[in-house]
Amino acid sequence: MANIGIFCGTAGGTSMIVAQALAEAFEVEEVINMEEDFDDIDQMLEHDVLFIGSSTWGQGDVYFEWVDPLLEIESDGIDFSGKTIALFGAGDSVKHGEHFCSALGKLYKTFTAAGAKVVGFVDASDYKYESSLAEMDGKLCGLAIDEHNEKDKTEIRVSKWIDSLKEEIPA
């Protein structure tokens, strides 16, 4: 099995639900909570596969603990070539439908510019929102969870996404 790291930034805990499900499904012992456990980018570079989670805030921003690491990756030209990344996060499709899970799109932009390959795209037609930076060609660039309005869909979305990742993640 690939060397997998799970890094999650969340305030309300919704993204952590996905992180814990990933840890169980892929037998990963530790989830790095960006607020409590993250030390530096080297922690990420130790892994071949990264599951990256962030809730979306404000005008489609990443969780605040992601801001500095993303700036460091961009400004220092940190190389993620050869890394496979899957993105996940939480948003509110009604109250913030104009920025639904846009943090995923921002994470996608940074990590792909740094050379990473992103897997785990999800069909956007299963969601209702105004717009999202995470949407690309009718797909979301990762798993979007809306516990505020579609809590009844969370379990099946997570399960289906994990099944698809098991087919896409290099062994």
pLDDT number for residue 94: 84
State the DSSP code for 105.
H
What residues form DSSP beta bridges with 87? 52, 142
pLDDT number for residue 128: 93
pLDDT number for residue 171: 61
Q: What is the layout of strands, in order, in the sheet containing 139-140? A: 122-123, 139-140, 135-136
CATH number at residue 118: 3.40.50.360
| Whole-number Cα distances in Å, 10 to 33, 114, 117, 166 | 8, 23, 23, 24
Radius of gyration of the chain (CA): 14
pLDDT number for residue 96: 85
| Residue 14 structural domain | 4-168
CA distance 94 to 22: 26
Q: Which residues neighbour 153 within 8 Å (Cβ) at sequence distance 6 or greater?
A: 126, 146
Low pLDDT (below 70) residues in the chain: 1, 171
pLDDT number for residue 58: 84
Q: Hunting for tokens 């009604």 — which residue is that?
A: 94
- Cα dihedral 134, 97, 57, 45, rounded to 10, equals -20
Domain count, the chain: 1
pLDDT number for residue 29: 95
CA distance 141 to 105: 7
pLDDT number for residue 1: 63
pLDDT 10s digits, 92-141: 998 887 899 999 999 999 999 999 999 999 999 999 998 999 999 999 99
pLDDT number for residue 48: 96
- Has this prediction a pTM greater than 0.85? yes
Q: Tell me if 117 sits within 8 A of 130, measured CB to CB.
A: no
